[in-house]
Amino acid sequence: MIDSEDRALFMGLGQVKELTQCTVGRIIQFAPFNSLDDFLSRVDPRIQEAEHLAKIGALDGFGKIPTLLRRLQTGGWRRGQMSLFEWTDASGEDWTLQQKVEAQLEILGASLDAHPLELVSVKTIASGAISTLEAAERIGRRVTVAGVRQTSHRSRTAKGDAMLFLTVEDLQGTLDAILFPEVYRAAKRLLDSTTPVLITGIMEMDAERGEPYIKVEMVIPLR
């Protein structure tokens, strides 16, 4: 059931992709809601808005995600008009944790249920990757860390080639990384998402900032 304590409100409804200010206002104005039909009738969201709320778990109190999405696809709700037949979810099926995390990352830009690396912990261990905290202590050495993109911004070399300044995050902390043009071209597709990756490179120290960073040599997906 959506109310003022709902996870989506906690994250900030403004972070939900495609959710208009008009819909946000009606959610805040009319909450709490007693049922899915009550929510649809009073808020009157567009189908895409309702689907995004369902996918991030904001409508969990009304049913499981797969059946919520099937109900939303039928449409047919109107503002201020309750359905003659109250919809209920009689199904026990639900999305996997990985599906939920992927949807939350896509729609919110952050996961509410688990960190992406928690879903690949066995593969992370098998890869021999070390934490960002350990890597920061190995200046001058080649290391491999597992992480997800937190922030990034592109720049250009004197020759005009694109390069990337990146901050990667794992379960222990964050680490800055620099990808020069050749490496960035090879890794660009992987770093355009929040897919967990393995990053290998040489640890160096930024003398001006006094902060360690990894000069990246290779990026591969961690799935």
Map 122-135 to HEC letters. Answer: HHHHHHCCECHHHH
pLDDT at 1: 47
Q: How far apart are CA 223 and CA 214, in angstroms?
A: 22
Report the DSSP pairing between strands 162-169 and 142-156. antiparallel
pLDDT at 8: 46
Q: How far apart are CA 150 and CA 174, in angstroms?
A: 8
Q: Rg for the chain (alpha carbons), in Å?
A: 22
Residue with tokens 């808020």: 43
Which helix or strand (DSSP H or E) is residue 218 part of? strand 211-221
pLDDT at 4: 41
- Among 141, 164, 161, smallest CA distance to 219 is for 164
Rounded to two decimals, the pTM is 0.60
pLDDT at 15: 83
**Alpha carbon 104 to chain centroid distance?**
5
pLDDT at 104: 86
DSSP H helices, the chain, are: 7-11, 21-30, 36-43, 47-55, 65-74, 97-108, 121-127, 132-135, 181-191
DSSP H helices, 147-205, are: 181-191
pLDDT at 91: 63
pLDDT at 186: 93
Q: Tens of pLDDT along 111-163?
A: 777 788 888 888 888 999 999 999 999 999 999 999 989 899 999 999 999 99
The mean pLDDT value of the chain amounts to 86
Phi, psi of 17, deg, nearest 5: -60, 135
**Alpha carbon 222 to chain centroid distance?**
16
Low-confidence ranges of the chain (pLDDT < 70): 1-11, 80-92
Q: How far apart are CA 156 and CA 162, in angstroms?
A: 5
Amino acid at 31: A
**In the chain, what are the domains?**
7-108 (no CATH), 116-221 (2.40.50.140)
pLDDT at 164: 96
Q: How far apart are CA 62 and CA 60, in angstroms?
A: 5
